[in-house]
Amino acid sequence: MGHDMTTTPRFVFLTGAGISAESGIPTFRTPDGGGPAMWAEHSVDDVATPAGYRRNRNLVHRFYQERREACAAAEPNAAHYALAALAAALGDKVLVVTQNVDDLHERAGLPARNLIHMHGALATAICAGCRHRVDAGVYGDRCPRCRDGLLRPDVVWFGERPYEMPRIERAVRDAYLFVAVGTSGEVYPAAGLVDIARVHGASTVELNLQQTSGLFDETRLGPASRTVPELVKNLIG
Ligand code: OAD
């Protein structure tokens, strides 16, 4: 399907686990009051690396099936809805780059053209061979297209390259405003996008419960369900 690139994104949002915390989805590193952090409960090496997948596919499939169930039980919160409203108001000037594998941005109504899942998505599985995508839930099966590769979670693991980096970097270079929402800034290359934004002259704002890197022009502290709608209200006017 063709993508209309006539309008360049000017408002680029990078979202992380913190934007979904108030929907009841645990963050990875910092407990958010709703329970222990994901990477305190599960070994990253076992469930989020290619080597872990080679060692024990069933364990990895079970882990992502649990994530998928937690995601299905969750609802978008005011932060997701605010970003969808911004895209409805400003169209292709808005791009949301999410590190999250949940589908709460799309369920809040954010159109696919305004959203990039740089770390993949729970909703799909991908053929390890030919990269064909199918709906998730059919892991372990052979790919229906090439009939050879194994279907694996469509999630970017440690040691793998995030999806769509050229398109993301282009958008960040052209941005007027770069906003990071609910991300710890510990995982690259996502954590380096703020540097690209700054070098190319964007204003940079961080919305988080706490200050992270100190690399942003401005940090607004508070839960995303409050800070994101406030910022969006200012942008829409
Ligand atoms: P982290 O768990 O590292 O960080 C979550 C951030 O959200 C922290 O900075 C919290 O302070 C903040 N936070 C928590 N609740 C919040 C709220 N209600 N409102 C605003 N901020 C809140 O999650 P990510 O930065 O998304 O990658 O993690 C990045 C990547 O590491 C993930 O995409 C995942 C993980 O390993 C892969 O699996 C490849």
Domain edges within the chain: 1-25+76-119+161-237, 41-73+124-155
Query: From the CB of 67, is ligand 1 less than 6 Å away?
Result: no
Q: Give the model's pLDDT for residue 32.
A: 64
Residue nearest to atom 36 of ligand 1 (CA): 28
Of 3, 80, 119, 200, the catalytic one is 119
Residue 1 pLDDT > 60, yes or no? Answer: no
Taking 3-state DSSP, the helix, strand and coil percentages for the chain, each rounded to the nearest 5, stand at 40, 20, 40
**pLDDT class for 4, splitting at 50, 70, 90?**
very low
The CATH code belonging to domain 41-73+124-155 is: 3.30.1600.10
Q: Which two tokens stand for residue 215?
A: 């690399």
CA 6 – ligand 1 centroid, Å: 32
Contact 60, 8 (CB under 8 A): no
Active site residue 119: yes
The reply to whether 1-25+76-119+161-237 and 41-73+124-155 are identical in fold is no
Query: From the CB of 27, is ligand 1 less than 6 Å away?
Result: yes
Taking the model in full, what pTM does it have?
0.95
What are the tens digits of pLDDT across the range 108-133? 999 999 999 999 999 999 999 999 99
Nearest ligand 1 atom to alpha carbon 27: 2
What are the tens digits of pLDDT across the range 14-46? 999 999 999 999 999 876 656 678 888 889 999
Fold type of domain 1-25+76-119+161-237: Rossmann fold (3.40.50)
CA 176 – ligand 1 centroid, Å: 24
Query: From the CB of 223, is ligand 1 less than 6 Å away?
Result: yes
CB hemisphere CA count around 203 (13 angstroms):
7
What are the tens digits of pLDDT across the range 157-180? 999 999 999 999 999 999 999 999
Residue 73 pLDDT > 50, yes or no? Answer: yes
Query: From the CB of 131, is ligand 1 less than 6 Å away?
Result: no
| Pocket-testing residue among 19, 22, 25, 32, ligand 1, by greatest number of atoms within 8 A of Cβ | 32
Residue nearest to atom 18 of ligand 1 (CA): 223
Residue 222 pLDDT > 90, yes or no? Answer: yes
State the Cα–Cα distance between residues 27 and 130, nearest whole angstrom: 31
